[in-house]
Amino acid sequence: MSLEDLITYIQSRLLMLEFEYNDIFPELLRLSLLAFLTTIFWGFPGVKFEYPHLANQLRQACMAFTPSTPGESYLYAWALMVGATSVFRGPDQTWLLQRLRPLIRDSLGRTWFEVKNNLRQVMWIDSIHDGPGIEVFNQCLWETGDRSIVPI
């Protein structure tokens, strides 16, 4: 099986997964994995594709979810970073930064090196995600002025 076939298979399985209506966490992870796949499967240098339906669904899941354990906070932070680096576009990302700022500090780390290593524990491809990830990391720091976190 080629890599393209494997990724297509994984993507189709993720698209077909269904969860109980009131269980938002598995849906959040499913949508985050689909967003992650958009960065590795459909990426071309200098070309950014829009996925408005996926972005809207992931945004709704992110806004509806409240983590209740450190593990959920960690995965939620990863999901927000994946969304921020893949499908969330547009001028009004206030909701995203409001959720992501405390999670970076409390769940991912205080330096980009720590944050990146924690993101790698779930899924993160440095050559693809570091550039946009650093932008999101610095944007979160710039707007808070939090001196306990070290900017790039």
pLDDT of residue 89: 85
Q: How far apart are CA 142 and CA 14, in angstroms?
A: 35
Confidence band, pLDDT 50/70/90 cuts, at residue 45: low
What share of the chain in percent tops pLDDT 90? 61
Two tokens at 30?
């499913």
Q: How far apart are CA 48 and CA 67, in angstroms?
A: 31
What confidence tens digit (pLDDT) does each residue in 88-136 have?
987 778 899 999 999 999 999 989 999 999 999 999 999 999 999 999 9
pLDDT of residue 42: 61
Residue-by-residue DSSP string for 62-104: HHH----SHHHHHHHHHHHHHHHHHT--SS--HHHHHHHHHHI
pLDDT greater than 80 at residue 58: yes
Among residues 30, 39, 24, the alpha carbon closest in space to that of 10 is found at 30
Higher pLDDT, 103 or 23: 103
**What mean pLDDT is reported for the chain?**
87
